[in-house]
Amino acid sequence: MSLLPALTGSFSTPAVDNPTVAMMEAAYAHHGIDARYVNCDVAAADLPDAVRGATAMGWIGFNCSLPHKVAVIELLDELAESARLIGAVNCAVRGDGGWIGENTDGQGFLGSLRILTEPAGQRVLILGAGGAARAIAVELALAGAAELWVANRNLAKAAEIADLVNAETSSTCTAVEWRQELTVPASANVVVNATSLGLPGSGVVPLSFDVIPMGLVVCDVIPNPPDTEFLQRARQAGARTLDGRGMLLNQGAINIQLWTGVDPDREVMGRALDQAIAG
């Protein structure tokens, strides 16, 4: 490690429980990449200053998590095709012309989902309509999902995602108003919690598991804690569950490749991630 390593990091809030830094720095060390990853708690109002600071300090890339994935777009110079289509950015890459916005969330989710089931032909209920939900919906549709429902308290935000999926892909997508406890559609194969509900102190995800379709796969995008109350309830009801660890691990590996050109060892990253979460 030199005295002036390349800088990368993450902007989110709350950031105290974000274990990304552990797996990213483990990958840098394992591959001899002269870089550091800095986890930063950045309030919504301070995001423009954070991006300007990264620019001034010569950062080569940064991640954006809740609640910045959509707001960061206007602070960047260019969007990659995936980010343009999804309408959200979770990864910024320093290019010759400035910051290029990428979206690796959906790709990371698909890599994790394929452990349990292939996305093609699936019928999926997505809870939430933020940046992660948009990425997951678009990538599922592009991967051949048959039908999607996007549920959100603000129906207009859910409708934006549905309109995007219906216009740009061959999948069918429907917006659902989520103002009270939902039930899982009888024809659903997969449920994805793409909200921040499930983080400590954030409240319970208002979805009933009293009656669920046979073979249902229930996913949460929250990596820490990995076994959320939402997943515990789903398992008790007989569903197979998938936590947010795999999504975080896969998108982190893709981010490193975008920033450095190195395809990192996911086993090394996974061990460091597990240790950070356990700690």
Catalytic machinery residues: 69
E-assigned strand segments in the chain: 6-12, 35-41, 61-64, 78-79, 91-95, 98-102, 123-127, 147-152, 172-177, 182-183, 190-193, 207-208, 217-220, 240-242
d(CA 61, CA 8): 5
d(CA 216, CA 214): 6
Around 215, how many Cα atoms within 13 Å sit in the side-chain half-sphere? 8
Cis omega before residue 5 (within 30°)? no
Cα–Cα nearest to 162, from 195, 151, 153: 151
Check: CB of residue 126 under 8 Å from CB of residue 151. Answer: yes
Neighbours of 279 (CB within 10 A): 7
Question: How many Å from the N-terminal Cα to the C-terminal Cα in the chain?
Answer: 26
b/e code 183-195 from CB counts within 10 Å (16+ = b): ebbeebbbbbbbb
Cα–Cα nearest to 93, from 15, 158, 6, 156: 6
Cis omega before residue 225 (within 30°)? yes
How far is residue 257 from each of residues 27, 33, 141, 261, 268, measured CA to CA in Å?
A: 11, 11, 24, 4, 15
